[in-house]
Amino acid sequence: MKAQKRLGISDMAEYQKRNPKNKPTLDTNLENDLVQMFLNTDNAILTTKNDLKIFTDGHEKFNSLFEDLKKAKHHINIEYFTIYDDQLGKKLRKILVQKAREGVQVRVLYDLFGSKGSKQKFFKELIQAGGEVTPFMKSKLGYYSFRINFRNHRKIVVIDGSVGYIGGFNIGDQYLGRNKRFGNWRDTHLRLEGSVVLQLQSRFFMDWNASAKRQKVQFSLDYFPQSNVQNNIPMQIVSSGPENDVQKSNRVILK
C-alpha cells in the first residue's frame, strides 16, 4: 500500500521478511507461523517493546480513555463503528471540543450505518471548534450499499502517537449497562503503549485518507514519536477490509 510505503512500514516488513533473524521469535512454531503469514499477507510487522492494559468493563475503559484524551497535547485520532448521541457520546464530544479549542488536532472517523442515530449536527460544535469529522467511505446510495458487510467496525483511538486503544466497545450508554434491553455489557478492550501504536496510527491514516474528500493527512514525524516503553510484549496488528484480496481472519481459523 502507498500509505505503508510512505510511513516506512513496508520497509520494516521487508526487513523482517528477508531474514528470519530480523524478526523476534515467539514460544511455539504455530505462533511463529502465524506471525510470518500475516507479515507476508498484510505487511504486519511484529513489535516487541510494548505495554498493554486489558479492560472487560465499559466503565473502566471509558474512564481510562477520557483521562488520556484530556492529556492530549498534539493530536487525537478516533475511529468507531458506532458513536451514539447519548450521555456517553455527549461526554466524549465535550472533551473533544475542549481539546480542539486548545489547539489539539482532533479527527473523528465514524461509520454512517453504525452511527445512523447520530446526525451530522451532533458533530457541529466539534467542527466549529476546529475538529475534523468524516464518515467512512460514504456510499452514493446513502447509509446502505449492496456490500453492507463492508462497513467499518474498527474501534481505534490514537493519542499523541504514544497511546492507543483498540477492542470491542463502541461509544454508547449501552456499553455501560444503561440499556435494559442489553443489560450488563461485557466486552474486551486494550490500552496500548509502545511501537505497536505506530501500526494503529498507520491503519487510521489509511482509513482516513480513503474516506476524507479533503483534509487528507500527510506523513509527519509528529504522528510517530519515538517510544520509550521497555516492556517486552510482542504484538502484531492485522487488519482486513474491502481493500484486501485475502481474508486474513479466515486464514487464522483454518490455521
pLDDT tens track for 145-175: 445 556 677 899 999 999 999 999 999 999 8
Strands 232-235 and 132-135: unpaired
pLDDT tens track for 8-18: 555 555 555 45
For residue 55, list its beta bridge partners.
189
pLDDT tens track for 114-140: 556 566 789 999 999 999 999 876 655
Report the amino acid identity of residue 98: Q
Instruction: Determine the pLDDT at residue 35.
Output: 79
Window from 26-30, 71-75, 131-135 with minimum mean pLDDT? 26-30
Give helix 87-101 / helix 58-70 axis angle, nearest 10°: 10
Instruction: Determine the pLDDT at residue 144.
Output: 47
Global model pTM greater than 0.85: no
Contact 203, 169 (CB under 8 A): no
Give Cα 24 to chain centroid, integer Å: 24
pLDDT tens track for 87-124: 999 999 999 999 999 999 999 998 876 556 566 789 99
How many CB atoms are closer than 10 A to CB 23?
A: 20
Contact 108, 123 (CB under 8 A): yes
| Residue 194, C-alpha cell as written in the block | 509502545
Task: Show the domains of the chain with their CATH numbers.
Answer: 50-235 (3.30.870.10)
- Measure the CA–CA gap between 153 and 161, rounded to whole angstroms: 21
**Nearest-CA neighbor of 47 among 246, 224, 204, 223?**
224
How does residue 3 score in pLDDT terms, banded at 50, 70 and 90?
low
Long-range contacts, stretch 137-142, CB < 8 angstroms, 24+ apart = 137/210, 137/211, 137/242, 138/112, 138/211, 139/112, 142/112
